[in-house]
Structure 1
């Protein structure tokens, strides 16, 4: 193992100062992804800044009605919190669909957002991967790519983002809180992760040295009917072949508000804005749902072995929309 320096931080300021934007520095929370990548040799940090002791482990309601989840809140605690279960059920469902109970007890909110792709070519040092080693090629494109992207991929990378939680957060319109040497800022979760383009090695829009300090759940989607569905190869501890998070508000037999995000289909949680636009003001019917979802998925560019994801995503989404519409008192 490559030697590294270990620093335990007790404040956000101390953590960001210790990182200082050094390319070889990494923040360590639960470590459920980073430590695995270190064992594989994919990550070789020169400095680890342990942020697990930072005072960012609370879930709280803010004066404007939003809910803030600190970056070190464990996934299991976030899923079980009454504010999340009652107001944002799609988030609780997505969290419980991820990983295993043991991992959810360790994994953190911030770490979940920053986890890296599970593409086997990225994790295998003997294989070419532009995300791991820019310019080396994409082994998955002509190799095994059944699990890979059908939306937003590029010639350099077809990897998918593995987070279930991030898909629900994107649908809810959540914001990511960031703190760096230049101060604080927020970004919408739907814009936090990048599409690969010509820089697949850059997963997010986070600036060097910035630390995730929390996630803000907006009051605008609190209490609305919502749900998360995930299709995978086995019942537990498997990443999504396709998943969908939906927030649906029906009033007077018309769709008043709808938010849809896909997982397992792209390099980031994919906000289905075409489908959302197509559904606004429409009656919540099977025909309207199918037209809207097809309007979104017509942009898909499946590869040799993953064209099935188009139909899978369509069926998942229409089923969730139908169930939410049927359960709405205004439908």
Structure 2
């Protein structure tokens, strides 16, 4: 590991100024991803700017009835917060499914959003990778790709985004707030992650030197009837091979509102807007759920070893929406 400097900061403007003065530095939250990448030699910062003591560790209701979640809130505190559990249960479930208690106690909300792909080629310095070295190639296309993307990928990268939490936040229209040297800004999470295209190394719309300060969830009544379902290759903690955050409002057998976001199928959480449009105003039946899932997955482009994700994702959508519909009818 490259030797690095370390500095703890206590105010947001000071943190942003420090990074601006040293572009080779990195912000350090819980370090559950960054430190691993440093050990592997993928990340080689000259300095770590520890932001854990910034006053960004609160969760509070917004005037319009939403929730504002500070960037340094730990995943454990987020999952346990009573208002998150009551108003956005799928978010609690996603966080609890994401990692062990020890990791949740360290990992932060801001860091979770910025974690990098777990593609083996990305972390192996002996292999090319367009995310790590732009223009070097994507060996996963012809190599090991059983857990790689089926939606929104390109010949330049087929990696998937690893976050469970981000899938639930995407389903509920979360907004990311950040601070830059020029002042504050914000981005809808649905637009925060950039399409792969031919620049997979550019992953987010976060301006250079920006520090995530909060994530805001707007008021969303349908989110109270929500669920996160994760499929993984072993029962203990593992990255998803498919996941779904879903919320459903049914009245008299008709879908009044629905939210769907897919995980482990793309380089970013995939908001299933086509499926949502087809379902809204229609019958809350397994047949309708399957048809909507099929329509969303028409755009899937599979590789030889990851085609199983299409039926897996379809079955997830049908199973979870059926469960939610049955619960609404009780």
* Residues in 2 aligned to 1:221 and 1:45: alpha-carbon distance in whole angstroms: 43
In structure 2, how many angstroms separate the alpha carbons of the residues matched to 1:256 and 1:7?
51
Instruction: Give the Å deviation of 1:6.
Output: 1.8
SS in 2 for 1:320: helix
The 5 A counterparts of 1:23-172 are 23-172=23-172
- Name the CA distance, whole Å, in 2 between partners of 1:252 and 1:183: 48
Matched residues, number:
330
RMSD, aligned α-carbons:
1.2
- Gapped runs of 5+ residues in structure 1? none
Cα deviation, residue 21, structure 1: 7.3
* 1:100-145 deviation per Cα after TM superposition (whole angstroms, max 9, x unaligned): 1110110000000000000000000001100011111111111110
The 8 Å contact of residues 7 and 18 in structure 1, kept in 2 or not, is answered as no
1:223 Cα deviation from its structure 2 partner: 5.2
What secondary structure does 1:298 align onto? helix
Where do 4+ consecutive residues of structure 1 move more than 6 Å? none
- Paired with 1:262 and 1:136, the residues of 2 have a C-alpha distance of 29
8 A contact 1:121–1:128 mirrored in 2: yes
Q: Secondary structure at the match of 1:161?
A: coil
2:257 is aligned to 257
> In 1, distance between residues paired with 2:24 and 2:30?
19
> Is the 1:145–1:306 contact (alpha carbons within 8 Å) kept by the matching residues of 2?
yes
Which residue number in structure 1 is paired with residue 302 of structure 2?
Answer: 302
Report matched runs for 1:244-323 at 5 Å: 244-323=244-323
* Corresponding residue for residue 183 of structure 2: 183
**When the two structures are superposed, what TM-score results if normalisation uses the length of structure 1?**
0.97
Q: Is the 8 A contact 2:222 2:258 kept in 1?
A: no
How far residue 265 of structure 1 moved from its aligned partner, in angstroms, is 0.2
Q: Which blocks of at least 5 consecutive residues in structure 2 are unaligned? A: none
